[in-house]
Structure 1
Amino acid sequence: MVANSDIVQSGSLNGNVVELLPKQLYFASFKAPPHKADPHVRYIDLDNRVHYEPFYGDFGPLNLSVLYRFTRYLHGLVEAQRKRKIVVYTDDDDRNRVNGAYIMGSYLIIYQGVSADAAYLRLETAQPPKFIGFRDAALGEPTYLLHLHDVLRAVEKAINLKWFDITSFDAEEYELYERVENGDMNWIIPGKILSFCGPHNESRVEDGYPYHSPETYFDYFRATNVTTIVRLNMRMYDAKKFTDAGFDHVDLFFIDGSTPSEKIVENFIRVVDNSKGAVAVHCKAGLGRTGTLIACWMMKEFGLNAAECMAWLRICRPGSVIGPQQDYLVAMQKFCWSMSQNNVVQKARRHNATDVAAKKSLGKLASKVDEISLSHPMRPTTLGENVVPRPRPNILPLRGRSKKSLDKNGNASTPTQELNSETAIDSQGRSQGDRLLAMKARSQHAPHVSSPSVHTAHLPTLSNGNILHDPSVYMNGRHSGSNRHNNTPSPFPLAQRTSAAIGLLAVSPRFSSPTTPIKPLSTPGSASSTSSRSRGIARNLASTLTPAPRLPLNGFRTRTLTGLFDTTTTPTFSSVFHRF
């Protein structure tokens, strides 16, 4: 912590100012914007330069493209303005504050070689107030919160495992292919695991949302050595389309919003281990079920814990792992770690009568000790560093569920809009995946409105000590910041040229991920830095779609650091994880 009269604004500081680089880089939170007249101090308002678009009550962490773009921008400032103090600050909204801490801690890890533990210890001095935990993209109250420390560890391990390289990461490609109209897909582990939205038998646009046929993905999958497709949802397309094209295809169905059985986990791990190339995994939205099984393989293959897996999944593909799937992954840690010997799936030990009797005896003994209590059957028991998994049903029960409340597919339905479980079908016949896809399409066309600030002084905490945010401020839709976008229709959703962006340089350009078509399709004779392979793949993805409305151009593309540090044109980055 640093007490500096040049930085601390009397009466406006929220928490403490943190010195991240000696006498140069600081992080702070202010109740009111700081005075910026001092020429020796450069203030960076992070809230106006990064943006996260929630599904429901989720608010971060900011996605990989935003992380890359802002840290790269910040590092250029640090290198170019060594004689000025740089203060990156947020307002006192706890969601913005923890996202700012995540970005600044990641900067230390990526560019300064600081460990995740050391970065967190520096940021910790900004407390109180305590950093709140990140929540999932589910409806209702969160049951699990992701700690800032876990997110920083995920970034560190991704760098160490070569999943993320700041010198070679292609933010434009990331932003292109995560858009719904371009395939709605993200690499979780480059060259090995890709997560994407479930295809349909035919390409079409329905209720403003574009659906893709298997053929749409052929060129991209071949170009990136994807050899195996794993489907986790109901059959929405003929798998023969993939197999006839030379791909392997595997079905491992389990109900939308639920958790997989041990057998499904074992089969999935075996499929990934035996695949000749990369594996593309999808469910309906490519978020909950997809992220859950990918996390199981990550724990088995690399020894990460559940929180680190969830953090990296959400950085790569926001919204991944939802509701009870979070606690399920924590409970499955030991099971997945046990399968890592020599890359061979080890069958879980089958419990015999002796095991059951021993467990009953242990339970009776534990119940007699005041300091020891048996955990909820749906939660793991933590003993120091060891996590003992509890048996979990494959399909989570619904409270107040009637035997007659099943749809034609055998999924539970609810007569009200209030859903009691992530597996529930709402009154419109939509499962969790359907609702998330609808949110993506709706948020594409809805104007962004501001949401109330949230402060830790008014928030409860969960049993693990993480502070709970207030989900009620989000329940009316996917709110963003104060920026508003006026959607203008165009028959060419990806054909906006760099020249049009250059004209906006004088009016505070805005980087946007993925709402701005950063990587437009080339027209004959136009100059483009996009590779011919990527252009061809993009054309194939776009060729099957009916032209859709485009978003306005609210940003520009810059490949070099030159020009990014003009104080009159500071870029803004947006982590918006709708794809359309």
Structure 2
Amino acid sequence: MSEPELHDRVAVLSGRLGYALAPASDLAPELLQQWNRESANDRFVCVDDEFVYARFFADFGPLNLAQTVRFCREIDERLRDADNGGSTKVGDRETTRSVAHTLVLVSSAHPHKRANAMTLLALYLVMRHGRTPEQAVAPFADLRAPFGFRDAACGICSFFLTALDCARAVHKAMRTGIWSWEAFSVPAYEHLDELHNGDMNWIVPGKILAFSGPQRERVELDGDAQGRQRATLLAPEYAALFRGQLGVRCVVRLNESSTYDRKAFLHAGIKHLDLEFPDGGNPPDEILYKFIRTCERASGAVAVHCTAGLGRTGTMIAAFLIKNLRFTAPEAIAWCRLCRPGSIVGPQQQFLLVKQRELFQLAPSRTADVASRSLAPLTKKQPPLQRIVLRSTTALRGR
């Protein structure tokens, strides 16, 4: 029985989970079926076409938190199947195995697919097996380093995120209490992430929400895969959502004040703060520190937007993470992009790298409060925050 032609095979979980690189940039399903039919000890799987990054320009990853959690759940399920012997389906014929076998995740040789596969496995080890970031990337240490992740632009890239940066970001988020496997709801994330549901993502659950800036007029979009019409939300609709279970008590606008009338939020009892600075630019200190103080002193959640809620928004939130939760700049950038892909663009990356030292010299403010807000949904008396969010926003589906 011939062995599959694979490269860079390594053990991720000894005897249970491995990784290997296919010889071509496009891996045919028929080839996987052949390998599974011929192998007595391994079960090969490829998820290159199942977990796909929705790029803006030249960016290609990392995959968002919902996709990452879906991947982890699928690996958990496949490992249980592998431990029990499982079955292999070839055409209409299903073959049952009586002994445990090793699950091998195979990625194509395309550099983007390879980078995402390695990063997903590293995050799986952090999220599901309690590995440190360094332990999580150790299985790939002797392999050719994957492509680094770039920003959502198309020019020359001068800063790249690594799989280790992403693993450190998730590890830091879990250690500081702003994210947990138990509290995260994939349906809630994906619902709020939809443009017609607000294009919103929690960066610090219960504390800081990033969203796309409202406009004076509704923008009609093409229908979704189910043929349902989509349209952007207006400021009053955001205000209604924010006043509900989302718990937003302050909105910070970073773009032009002409985009919408702030009274929509004020009349709903939500504070509104304008901290405008140029699109694609970096905030002056006066604006940056006023934003950080606003988040620190807010009695409820703070919702932040610029035009798309990516560049300026991500930069300001990342600075908060650096000062108050002691994320490094690469960790803060990685976390923002895992929560909200496309965040922090161009020179904003270098700005955070330079600003890190200054922010580290400042004492964290109310860090324990930030953590407690995020951990509170895990108590028995209160359901997970993201599930509350899902229930409170399902009414939008009928609009």
Q: Which has the higher contact order (CA 8 A, sep 6+)?
A: 1
Return the match for 2:393 from 526, 531, 537.
Answer: 537
Tell me the alpha carbon deviations over residues 348-394 of structure 1, each in whole angstroms, 9 at most, x when there is no partner: xxxxxxxxxxxxxxxxxxxxxxxxxxxxxxxxxxxxxxxxxxxxxxx
Q: Contact between 2:197 and 2:233, CA under 8 Å: does it hold in 1?
A: no
Between Structure 1 and Structure 2, which shows a larger proportion of strand residues?
A: 2
User: Normalization by structure 2: what TM-score?
Assistant: 0.82
- For residue 43 of structure 1, what is the aligned residue in structure 2? 44
Tell me the alpha carbon deviations over residues 429-448 of structure 1, each in whole angstroms, 9 at most, x when there is no partner: xxxxxxxxxxxxxxxxxxxx
Q: Does 1:312 align with 2:327?
A: no
Change (3 A) 1:245 1:541: farther
Letter in 1 for 2:193: E
Q: Secondary structure at the match of 1:279?
A: strand
Matches of 2:398 and 2:342 in 1, distance apart?
25
Q: Secondary structure at the match of 1:18?
A: strand
Return the match for 1:93 from 97, 101, 110.
Answer: 110
Change (3 A) 1:123 1:254: same
- For residue 64 of structure 2, what is the aligned residue in structure 1? 63
Return the match for 1:234 from 225, 239, 256.
Answer: 256
- For residue 29 of structure 1, what is the aligned residue in structure 2? 21
Q: Contact between 2:43 and 2:82, CA under 8 Å: does it hold in 1?
A: no
Q: Secondary structure at the match of 1:539?
A: helix
Between Structure 1 and Structure 2, which shows a larger proportion of helix residues?
A: 2
Matches of 1:326 and 1:341 in 2, distance apart?
22
Matches of 1:202 and 1:162 in 2, distance apart?
39
Change (3 A) 1:193 1:542: farther
Q: Contact between 1:217 and 1:541, CA under 8 Å: does it hold in 2?
A: no
Change (3 A) 1:108 1:541: same
Letter in 1 for 2:231: P
Percent same amino acid among aligned pairs? Answer: 35
Change (3 A) 1:540 1:112: closer
Change (3 A) 1:317 1:96: same
- For residue 200 of structure 1, what is the aligned residue in structure 2? 215
Matches of 1:150 and 1:70 in 2, distance apart?
19
- For residue 216 of structure 1, what is the aligned residue in structure 2? 237
Runs of 4+ in 1 over 4 A off after TM superposition: 206-209, 341-344, 530-533
Q: Contact between 1:116 and 1:153, CA under 8 Å: does it hold in 2?
A: yes
Deviation at 1:104, TM superposition (A): 0.5
Matches of 2:391 and 2:366 in 1, distance apart?
37
Q: Contact between 1:30 and 1:91, CA under 8 Å: does it hold in 2?
A: yes
Deviation at 1:25, TM superposition (A): 0.6
- For residue 378 of structure 2, what is the aligned residue in structure 1? none
Deviation at 1:159, TM superposition (A): 1.6
Deviation at 1:124, TM superposition (A): 1.7
Q: Secondary structure at the match of 1:52?
A: coil
Gaps of at least 5 residues in structure 1 are: 345-529, 544-580
Matches of 1:245 and 1:27 in 2, distance apart?
52
Matches of 1:535 and 1:112 in 2, distance apart?
30
Aligned residue runs from structure 1 range 225-264, under 5 A: 225-235=247-257, 236-264=259-287
Deviation at 1:342, TM superposition (A): 4.7
Matches of 2:122 and 2:236 in 1, distance apart?
41
Number of aligned residues: 348
Q: Secondary structure at the match of 2:36?
A: coil
Matches of 1:260 and 1:542 in 2, distance apart?
39
Letter in 2 for 1:230: V
Matches of 2:276 and 2:66 in 1, distance apart?
31
Deviation at 1:210, TM superposition (A): 3.0
Aligned residue runs from structure 1 range 446-485, under 5 A: none
Letter in 2 for 1:59: F
Tell me the alpha carbon deviations over residues 3-55 of structure 1, each in whole angstroms, 9 at most, x when there is no partner: xx98x63xx433x2110111111011111455222243111112122111211
Deviation at 1:535, TM superposition (A): 5.2
- For residue 290 of structure 1, what is the aligned residue in structure 2? 313
Q: Contact between 1:52 and 1:59, CA under 8 Å: does it hold in 2?
A: yes
Matches of 2:166 and 2:387 in 1, distance apart?
33
CA RMSD of aligned residues (A): 2.2
Q: Contact between 2:296 and 2:365, CA under 8 Å: does it hold in 1?
A: no
Deviation at 1:167, TM superposition (A): 2.3
Change (3 A) 1:188 1:87: same
Return the match for 1:182 from 163, 173, 197.
Answer: 197
- For residue 175 of structure 2, what is the aligned residue in structure 1? 160
User: Normalization by structure 1: what TM-score?
Assistant: 0.57
Aligned residue runs from structure 1 range 65-144, under 5 A: 65-82=66-83, 83-125=100-142, 127-128=143-144, 130-144=145-159
Gaps of at least 5 residues in structure 2 are: 84-99, 224-229, 368-385
